[in-house]
């Protein structure tokens, strides 16, 4: 059973939101039951969720991690924030890791993992890695790709059988200083930006990727491999 963290959206009324594309691969390729976790600071029962869940996925989002959490400067004009998501993500992920349960991150989720481990973020990657508008065509937005190099012997290299792969790139923040205890699983081939990280601080996998494997998991074996890793880690955690 995996928790998937929602985001806060407000189009005239507050709603909890998560893109369906994050959910289907968890069922199909990780063989996991999904529990949506509201990102509501005052209503999140973190302790109960840690007991209930076998793992956690921190999804991508149209919002960015607030710089107060990593000592950064103000976000550029127009970039969205979600302070309740920040609070719930960091508290729940931290509690899951301490309980020896796996935590995974996609895009914003990778950045949250890095901040949780004491790392910092930068918006300097924006022009190179984020093309288009959230209000435009999603197919074009998520179709912007570049190559990453996978670390030899790393979990992603082993699970995909690749040392280099093309991934999509939709993000306004990126890792600046790597968090303590995290190892690099992949870097961008063109500029060396950290694109994937891993740790096993309490006996369970912590794995984050900057790209969006959920976008093309149906047709890409490399993207499916990310969700296969999730399934393997969840079953190991559930088995105790």
Task: Categorize the per-residue pLDDT at 112 as very low, low, confident or very high, splitting at 50, 70 and 90.
Answer: very high
User: Where do the domains of the chain lie?
Assistant: 2-239
Task: Categorize the per-residue pLDDT at 128 as very low, low, confident or very high, splitting at 50, 70 and 90.
Answer: low
CA-to-CA separations, 195 to 10, 20, 125, 216, in angstroms, rounded: 30, 23, 12, 17
Q: What is the pLDDT of residues 175-215, one digit of tens each?
A: 999 999 999 999 999 889 999 999 999 999 999 999 999 99
pLDDT over 70 for what percent of the chain? 92
By 3-state DSSP, what share of the chain in percent is helix, strand and coil, each rounded to 5? Answer: 35, 25, 40
* Cβ atoms of 114 and 175 closer than 8 Å: yes
Please list the residues that pair with 187 across neighbouring strands. 149, 194
Q: What is the pLDDT of residues 143-178, one digit of tens each?
A: 778 999 999 999 999 999 999 999 988 878 999 999
* Cβ atoms of 226 and 201 closer than 8 Å: no
Task: Categorize the per-residue pLDDT at 125 as very low, low, confident or very high, splitting at 50, 70 and 90.
Answer: low
Interatomic CA distance for residues 118 and 232, integer angstroms: 27
Mean pLDDT of the chain: 92
Question: Average of pLDDT values for 46-71?
Answer: 96
Which residues lie below 8 Å from residue 90, measured CB to CB, with a gap of 6+?
A: 69, 112, 115, 116
Largest CA distance in the chain: 49
3-state SS assignment for residue 7 = strand
Instruction: Note the pLDDT of residue 135.
Output: 59
Instruction: Note the pLDDT of residue 130.
Output: 47
Q: What letter would DSSP give residue 21? A: G
User: What predicted TM-score, i.e. pTM, was given to this entire model?
Assistant: 0.94
Q: What is the pLDDT of residues 16-44, one digit of tens each?
A: 999 999 999 999 999 999 999 999 999 88
CATH 3.40.50.880 fits 2-239, yes or no: yes
Say if residue 138's pLDDT is above 70.
no
């Amino acid at each position: 059973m995996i928790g998937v963290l929602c985001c806060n959206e407000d189009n005239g009324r507050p709603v909890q939101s998560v893109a369906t594309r994050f959910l289907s691969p968890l069922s199909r390729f990780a063989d996991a039951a999904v529990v949506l976790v509201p990102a509501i600071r005052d209503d999140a029962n973190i302790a109960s969720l840690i007991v209930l869940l076998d793992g956690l996925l921190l999804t991508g989002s149209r919002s960015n991690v607030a710089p107060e959490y990593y000592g950064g400067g103000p976000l550029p004009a127009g970039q969205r924030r979600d302070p309740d998501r920040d609070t719930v993500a960091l508290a729940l992920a931290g509690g899951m890791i301490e309980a020896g349960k796996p935590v995974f991150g996609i895009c914003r989720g990778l950045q949250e993992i890095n901040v949780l481990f004491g790392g910092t973020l930068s918006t300097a990657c924006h022009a190179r890695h984020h093309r288009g508008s959230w209000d435009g065509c999603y197919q074009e937005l998520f179709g912007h790709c570049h190559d990453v190099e996978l670390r030899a012997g790393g979990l992603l290299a082993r699970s995909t059988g690749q040392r280099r792969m093309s991934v999509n790139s939709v993000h306004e923040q990126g890792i600046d200083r790597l968090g303590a205890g995290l190892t690099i699983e992949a870097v961008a081939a063109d500029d060396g930006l950290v694109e994937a990280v891993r740790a096993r601080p309490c006996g369970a996998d912590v794995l984050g990727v900057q790209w969006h494997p959920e976008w093309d998991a149906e047709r890409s074996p490399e993207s499916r491999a990310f969700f296969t890793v999730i399934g393997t880690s969840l079953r190991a955690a559930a088995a105790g």
